[in-house]
């Protein structure tokens, strides 16, 4: 670790649970962040500035003025720029040494199969079930931990899906792909601006814990937030024996 790294990451290194060894693990790790909007903004900023060695940011969309109410990685002068590139610029403004790769496309199944295999942790910051299920399938196939969050209106949720533990569920155990869910999006339903910051920051925390081996993750638990009263519900999630995605791992 260089002198600059020792200084930059000193507040992590001072933590007994992380220390030099934990920070070195972060510097050697690769995080795949899918979505660079409301959730992806705090995720990418915290991972990029905390010293994750490689970041891959995936988003096909561009910055719009309506994003600026909550997507803190973006600025007015970057309206029209790809969200992944805008987030990369925001990270580099704080940590110029961060190795950030931008992928300006939708994360389809074929691309995910290759990209997930190369990552140490995957963070799902998307807003549609089809993509979420494709991400989950790739994570199950390649035995990678998945940190998934969602936020709409005043309601948020977060969990970790880590099927490396035989008792823990995948995303499809909780939200079966054959089920019918009403797609709700910020563009039509609205979203409380700090909510994506709360959930996104928790996603970043879970990812950093997984990469450093600190504490215990949210695997097997779904946390749901009603931000109107700042009330959290915590639900235990078992693996489903007949899950179409992860049942074969038994």
> Is residue 52 within 8 Å of residue 29, measured between CB atoms?
yes
Collect all residues with Cβ–Cβ distance below 8 Å to 21 and sequence separation of at least 6: none
CA angle 90, 130, 81 (to 5 degrees): 25
Alpha-carbon gap, residue 230 to 176, rounded angstroms: 28
Alpha-carbon gap, residue 133 to 131, rounded angstroms: 5
Please give the backbone phi and psi of residue 95, each rounded to the nearest 5 degrees, phi first: -135, 85
148, containing H or E segment: strand 146-152
Q: Is-catalytic flag, 243?
A: no
Q: Which among 125, 170, 186, 243 is annotated as catalytic?
A: 186
Structure-token match 């099927």, residue found? 163
Catalytic residue numbers? 186
């Amino acid at each position: 670790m260089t002198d600059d790294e020792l200084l930059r990451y000193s507040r992590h290194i001072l933590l007994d649970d992380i220390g030099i060894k934990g920070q070195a693990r972060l510097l050697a790790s690769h995080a795949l962040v899918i979505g660079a909007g409301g959730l992806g903004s705090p995720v990418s900023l915290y991972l990029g500035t905390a010293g994750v060695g490689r970041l891959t940011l995936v988003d096909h969309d561009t910055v719009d003025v309506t994003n600026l109410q909550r997507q803190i990685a973006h600025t007015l002068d970057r309206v029209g720029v790809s969200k992944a590139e805008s987030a990369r610029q925001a990270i580099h403004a704080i940590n110029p040494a961060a190795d950030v790769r931008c992928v300006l496309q939708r994360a389809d199944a074929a691309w995910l199969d290759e990209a997930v295999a190369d990552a140490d942790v995957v963070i799902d910051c998307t807003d549609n079930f089809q993509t979420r299920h494709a991400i989950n399938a790739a994570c199950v196939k390649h035995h990678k931990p998945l940190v998934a969050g969602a936020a709409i209106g005043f309601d948020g949720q977060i969990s970790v899906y880590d099927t490396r533990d035989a008792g823990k569920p995948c995303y499809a155990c909780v939200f079966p792909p054959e089920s019918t869910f009403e797609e709700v999006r910020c563009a039509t339903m609205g979203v409380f601006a700090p909510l994506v910051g709360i959930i996104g920051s928790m996603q970043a925390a879970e990812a950093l814990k997984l990469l450093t081996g600190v504490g215990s993750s949210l695997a097997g638990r779904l946390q749901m937030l009603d931000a109107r009263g700042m009330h959290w519900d915590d639900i235990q999630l078992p693996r489903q024996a007949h899950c179409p995605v992860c049942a074969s791992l038994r």
